[in-house]
Amino acid sequence: GDFYVVYRPERMAELFACASLHKLEPKRLCLLRHAPDRPVSLILVQLRKGAKPGLNWEELCLFDGHGKPTEQYKKLYHLS
């Protein structure tokens, strides 16, 4: 089955090491930023039990450089 987790980026290595011990393979990784010039604040990870290696990488930015919600934000919160 699939397991989804929201985690702090500075603890990603710990998450992947623990997942490996339990035969969970990371399949999707989304880096979440609040603004384009800001560091990643959260990671969203999909792990799958017993899956083959292969990771899809995505980035999500909630606000543009002027502080206005991005299209990704509007879609996420069903505002568009």
**Phi, psi at 45, each rounded to 5°:** -130, 135
Instruction: Reply yes or no on whether the pLDDT at 25 is more than 90.
Output: yes
pLDDT computed for residue 73 by the predictor: 94
Is the pLDDT score of 80 beyond 90? Answer: no
28 phi/psi in degrees, rounded to 5:
-135, 135
* pTM, 2 dp: 0.88
Q: Report residue 77 as tokens.
A: 């919160």
What's the mean pLDDT when you consider all of the chain? 96
Instruction: Using the predicted structure, report yes or no on whether residue 20 has a pLDDT greater than 90.
Output: yes
Q: What is the pLDDT of residues 53-75, one digit of tens each?
A: 999 999 999 999 999 999 999 99
Dihedral sign computed on CA atoms, order 38, 39, 41, 47:
positive
Residues 66 and 44: their CA atoms lie apart, in Å, by 25
- Distance in angstroms (rounded) separating the CA atoms of residues 42 and 30: 8
